[in-house]
Amino acid sequence: MVRSTAILRQAVHALSRTPHPTLALSPAVRSALNPKTRAPVVALESTIITHGLPYPYNLEVAQELEQTVIDHGAVPATIALLDGKPLVGLDEPQLERLARCAIDPSKNTAIKASRRDIAHVLSKGHGSVGGTTVSGTMVLAHMAGVPIFATGGIGGVHRGAESTMDISADLTELGRTPVAVFCSGPKSILDIPRTLEVLETFGVSVTTFNPTGEFPAFYTSNSGLSVPYAGTDAQAAAAIFANAQLGLQSGHVFANPIPSEWNEVGQRIQQSVEQAVRESVQQGIDKKGKEVTPWLLKRLAELIPESKKSNRALVVNNAKKAAQVAVELNRIENEVQQAAGTYALGGIPQTVS
Ligand code: PSU
Ligand code: MN
């Protein structure tokens, strides 16, 4: 009894997240993060809008992602840097402004922002636009108190990283920021086995929703590599809750396989990946830092035009899954809050053993 009270007290303490005052929260997100009006929230990234997909397809996808989160009972919090402010939750004109940066890729003034770029982009003030990567979005989601985030694919260890040292900042972030990232695995342009090795080194919890127990390979559902299996949304939510309770400062990867009807296209994309990577080496793109990933994605879209649609299908599917798990997590949090309230009425015993 006393022990369970101590656990409850700790549980309530772990629930009290106050958004960092510098963040500009949308009214819907602010309300959802208020303990009195708590609602499930799903963070969404913005590099996919500014650098991942062409205009106006990027705007359609961004809107569909937000709508999918809403349709499954959660509040969308698209994260971006605009006019020197970190925004958590965007309105329609803001979403459109991000999307329009990609109209002409050669004149794109938006900055692809991972953790290292955040302060620099904010210092540019009025007129500046930063599309946050998985790393950048995780930093700001955590500062806001949003533990669940949906995206398409995480960055990872690039092929040839033994000489280029190109390992995405997303992996480091996952090792040090307690946010659960719902994705379809690392993009197949990457080295998936080595990406899993680095995630293990950094202490990141990696789970699949694939009933085969396989880690998905972004455009296809199977990579041939096994990781632990999350059978239900409730199990995933319980893992996120446990991580927060223990105060572990590391994140999760929840890998959600692309719907099976896309596997055939995925096999074809896979064959073109080799070609795109080869070309990137021939043209020296592989040594161009943060340009590498957008270049490879664009080249792949040229080689297999359907890859854009695969990308949309999987990221929407991830937003749905993240929203469902966010609803479960919210339910657990409400239960804890209620149980603590019941104790509080009778007075929580002071002895903690
Ligand atoms: N997945 C996509 N399109 C993208 C990205 C992922 O389908 O544009 C972005 C994500 O924002 C991810 C970033 O965090 O690419 C990784 O870039 P890098 O490899 O430079 O770390
Ligand atoms: Mn890189």
Cβ atoms of 167 and 147 closer than 8 Å = no
The pLDDT of residue 343 is above 90: no
pLDDT at site 1: 43
End-to-end, the C-alpha distance of the chain in Å comes to: 10
The pLDDT of residue 348 is above 70: no
Query: Which of 49, 81, 112, 134 has most ligand 1 atoms within 8 Å of its beta carbon, as the pocket-test mutant?
Result: 134
The architecture of the domain spanning 2-333 is 3-Layer(aba) Sandwich (3.40)
Write out the catalytic residue numbers.
45, 187
Residue 169 Cα: closest atom of ligand 1: 21
Predicted TM-score of the model (pTM): 0.94
pLDDT at site 16: 77
Residue 190 Cα: closest atom of ligand 1: 19
Query: Which of 48, 55, 198, 262 has most ligand 1 atoms within 8 Å of its beta carbon, as the pocket-test mutant?
Result: 48
Cβ atoms of 253 and 236 closer than 8 Å = no
Q: Where are the alpha helices (DSSP H) in the chain?
A: 2-15, 27-33, 47, 57-71, 92-100, 118-123, 134-144, 161-164, 169-176, 192-201, 233-246, 263-282, 292-303, 307-346
Task: Identify the weakest region by mean pLDDT among 28-32, 68-72, 225-229, 339-343.
Answer: 339-343
Q: Over range 325-352, report the average pLDDT.
A: 77
pLDDT at site 340: 83
Of 14 and 312, the one with more pLDDT: 312
Of 12 and 348, the one with more pLDDT: 12
Residue 136 Cα: closest atom of ligand 1: 14
pLDDT at site 20: 96
Residue nearest atom 16 of ligand 1, based on CA coordinates: 155
Residue-averaged pLDDT of the chain: 93
> How many angstroms separate the most distant Cα atoms in the chain?
71
Residue at token pair 């809750």:
241
Band the pLDDT of 346: cuts 50, 70, 90.
Answer: low
What proportion of the chain, given as a percentage, has pLDDT over 70? 96
Residue at token pair 């949003």:
146
